[in-house]
Amino acid sequence: MEELDRRIVQLLSRDGRLSFTDLGKASGLSTSAVHQRVRRLEERGIITGYRAVLNHDAAGIPLAALISVIPVDPAAPDDIPDRLRHITALDSCFSVAGDENYVLKVRVASPLELEELLAQIRSAANVTTRTTVVLSTPWEDRSPLAGDEAPAEDG
Amino acid sequence: MEELDRRIVQLLSRDGRLSFTDLGKASGLSTSAVHQRVRRLEERGIITGYRAVLNHDAAGIPLAALISVIPVDPAAPDDIPDRLRHITALDSCFSVAGDENYVLKVRVASPLELEELLAQIRSAANVTTRTTVVLSTPWEDRSPLAGDEAPAEDG
DNA sequence: CTTGAAAAGAATGCCGT
DNA sequence: ACGGCATTCTTTTCAAG
């Protein structure tokens, strides 16, 4: 991905409603050129969609937690994500290479709801859990691609 | 927050570029009414912005990891987030109540970059780290507010 | 909250380079 | 791959019920 595309992706990561006119001004291209590039970024699956960003505190779900998940029966077929997917309090689900099998990020309204959620997870997926409560979030879901790391080495 | 607002927030969480016309059709309101409600949701800080959603694999940063962070000197004043904020590979930073002080979510292009990133984190913030590599992501950043949990109890 | 209207702005496609 | 232009749709604001 070239420099100009990275710049466009970064701009849209910060403001997904930028008009092609404004995107053009910010990237030094014409409206048509930016439009073309964004369409290709979408076609190539680099930009997969656009979303509103919520303030979870204001939205009434101020309590976040990270939950490590380990199956009770390690020999059972692992369909844990399928068993948990319907629980909407589960923000993210990562399959990981550490002591646990999965790490979940969850959001709930209160400690009581967290307690209920943990029971729901354990019974739905037959797992044990270890929960780390989030106290505060200095930042979250920041857009990457600023390029202060090592440059792409190979492709 | 009422039912209709939750529905609107949920719709915009899934597609942040929905027109007010389509939002109205999907929520059973007129264009003007939806427009009014969205403006109020933005004013109240419930909707804080709009963003493009990236496919990190396609964008060339396929490797994610969760990094637990513990200060080398527990007595030192804790400005760890400030010391790390400039590192753009850091997607999220959570201050947590578990064994560690912080959990970072990071995205890099390769294991080599992860190695360099860890060195950068340790030297910038004077911390030790424990890293859990993400193997796959069944889902991520899903929109909440579907209300299959306990109803709001107070607030 | 609804309908309706009108003006400004954006998206989209076509045609040049 | 980029720029300019024209058409269509959306946004945004206004009015009145």
Region A22-47: mean pLDDT is: 94
Q: What is the pLDDT of residue B77?
A: 94
pTM of the model: 0.92
Q: What is the pLDDT of residue A30?
A: 93
What does the CA dihedral A140, A141, A147, A149 come to, rounded to 10 degrees? 60
Structural domain spans, chain B: 3-44, 57-134
Strand D positions with any atom < 7 Å from protein CB?
A: 1-5, 9-15
CATH dotted code for B3-44: 1.10.10.10
φ, ψ dihedrals at A52, nearest 5°: -75, 145
Residue-wise pLDDT tens digits, A133-150: 999 999 999 988 876 544
Given pLDDT bands bounded at 50, 70 and 90, which one contains residue A153?
A: very low
Which amino acid, residue B43?
Answer: E
B19 touches chain A (CB under 8 A): no
Q: What is the pLDDT of residue B4?
A: 87
Distances (CA, A) of A136 to A32, A40, A147, B92, B132: 43, 38, 27, 11, 21
Q: How many CB atoms lie within 10 A of CB B86?
A: 11
In chain B, at which residue ranges do the beta strands (DSSP E only) sit? Answer: 47-54, 63-71, 90-96, 102-108, 127-139
CATH dotted code for B57-134: 3.30.70.920
Closest to A14 in 3D by CA, of A138, A142, A139: A142
Strand C positions with any atom < 7 Å from protein CB?
A: 1-4, 9-15
The token duo for A118 is 């943990």
Q: Would you call B54 and A45 a contact, using CB atoms and an 8 Å cutoff?
A: no
Q: What is the pLDDT of residue B147?
A: 63
Q: What is the pLDDT of residue B90?
A: 98
Euclidean distance between CA atoms B64 and B93, whole angstroms = 14
pLDDT in tens, chain B (155 residues): 688 899 999 999 999 999 999 899 888 898 999 999 999 999 999 999 999 999 999 999 999 999 999 999 999 999 999 999 999 999 999 999 999 999 999 999 999 999 999 999 999 999 999 999 999 999 999 988 876 544 444 43
Nearest-Cα distance to chain B for A143, in Å, is: 7
